[in-house]
Structure 1
Amino acid sequence: MTKFWIPVLFWAGVIYSFSTLQVEPASTISWQDFVVKKSAHLVEYAILFLLSYRALLNTTKLSRTKSAFIAFLIALLYGASDEIHQSFTPGRGPNVRDVLIDGLGAGIAWFGLWKYLPVWPRRLKNLAKILQIS
């Protein structure tokens, strides 16, 4: 059971460690740096969603939909708590926009699961036929 939650906790720790880093004030960073940082938010919380979803599916009797919803809430609430944590880091502060971006990252991952996971086995079979693996 815990083997599924260890990656979630590890990844939450990675996100936490990024939040402790001091950054330049927003007025001095370039737009490219801004895009990279916001993209990092998307990816960080998409990964947190996927790890949480996997842990919930394997350690509870929840349906896939309920597991996805709870994983989304975990990512969103962790994003909110991360912004509160940043208010105690010199040079940083809480930003509601970042919480929304975190939620968007989790939402994109959820959409990817809903849209693409059901067709992956078929696509892998087709690829195996093309590559003459099976």
Structure 2
Amino acid sequence: MVNSNLKNKIFRFIKYWLPVFIWLIIIFAFSNNPTVRASEIHWRDFSVKKSAHVIIYAILSTLIYRALKSNNVEMKKTGYISVFLASFYGITDEFHQSFTPGRDPTFRDIIFDTIGATLAIYFIWKLLPKMPEKVRLWAKKLEIT
């Protein structure tokens, strides 16, 4: 029979870290496919793709933040580590794309990934506390704050 401490650790891993790993797999799956144009108009294609980078890595940074916070890591360290890990994964993702036919790694994508990761933590630290109570309660329910 598994002791309750081990069960608790497994439950906490599944609850907090499994979403991070699932999101990493989703990012990997997207970057493993050849790129397609989001629009025939260059600026629109650029805007859609770079916005996707920002949003995807903002979500990743938030998930990492939530997981680290569950381990009682100090708030400032949690934010910095979240941005670092999300950005580092962006770097490894660009490296991975160098082996994917039809994909080219770009430093610009790493910048957009880092912007997304940083904006998420900025939102959690600076903007979320000033949001309406309903939004703050929603964030608390999701265990972001």
Note whether the superposition's TM-score is higher than 0.5: yes
- 1:1-134 to structure 2, matched below 5 A, reads 1-2=12-13, 3-24=15-36, 30-58=42-70, 60-120=71-131, 123-124=132-133
Superposition RMSD on alpha carbons, in Å?
Answer: 1.7
Q: 1:119 Cα shift?
A: 2.7
What residue is the counterpart of 1:129 in the other structure? Answer: none
Instruction: Work out the CA distance in 2 between the residues paired with 1:15 and 1:73.
Output: 17
Residue identity (%): 45
Question: SS of 1:22's equivalent?
Answer: coil
| CA 29–9 in structure 1, closer or farther in 2 if over 3 Å, else same | farther
For 1:69, the aligned partner's letter is Y
Runs of at least 4 residues off by over 3 Å:
none
Instruction: Work out the CA distance in 2 between the residues paired with 1:91 and 1:111.
Output: 34
Give me the TM-score of the superposition, normalised by structure 2.
0.77
For 1:12, the aligned partner's letter is L
What residue is the counterpart of 1:132 in the other structure? Answer: none
Q: 1:33 Cα shift?
A: 1.4
Q: 1:61 Cα shift?
A: 2.8
Q: 1:67 Cα shift?
A: 0.5
| Per-residue Cα deviation, 1:80-114 (whole angstroms, up to 9, x for no partner) | 00000000000112111100110000111111111
Instruction: Work out the CA distance in 2 between the residues paired with 1:29 and 1:19.
Output: 22
| Per-residue Cα deviation, 1:26-84 (whole angstroms, up to 9, x for no partner) | xx7622111101100000000000000000000x2311110111111110000000000
| CA 54–118 in structure 1, closer or farther in 2 if over 3 Å, else same | same
Q: 1:118 Cα shift?
A: 2.1
Give me the TM-score of the superposition, normalised by structure 1.
0.83
